[in-house]
């Protein structure tokens, strides 16, 4: 299980591990960043981020 704050493998490592194109990993990472599930720190890596609680729809 992946936990908040955990560093993810590099895009290249993930592509090799799963036998997919690096561009596929890149697209998936972009989607996860947009959803607030990961954050990338230049020169440090990509980390799992605890998702924000859903906004109250009744609001």
Cα dist. 42→8, 13, 27, 55 in Å? 13, 17, 18, 29
Residue with more model confidence, 59 or 2: 2
Percentage helix, strand, coil for the chain under 3-state DSSP, each rounded to 5:
35, 15, 50
pLDDT in tens, 28-55: 999 999 999 999 999 999 999 987 777 7
Share of the chain above pLDDT 90, in %: 78
Q: Is residue 31 assigned to a domain?
A: yes
Query: pTM (2 decimals)?
Result: 0.79
Number of domains in the chain: 1
58: pLDDT strictly greater than 90: no
Identify the domain containing residue 34 by its residue range.
11-48
Q: Is residue 4 assigned to a domain?
A: no
Q: Is residue 20 assigned to a domain?
A: yes
């Amino acid at each position: 299980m992946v936990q908040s704050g955990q560093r993810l493998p590099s895009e290249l490592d993930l592509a090799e591990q799963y036998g997919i194109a690096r561009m596929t990993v890149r697209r998936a990472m972009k989607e996860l960043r947009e959803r607030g599930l990961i954050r990338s720190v230049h020169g440090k890596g990509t980390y799992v981020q605890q998702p924000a609680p859903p906004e109250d729809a009744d609001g």
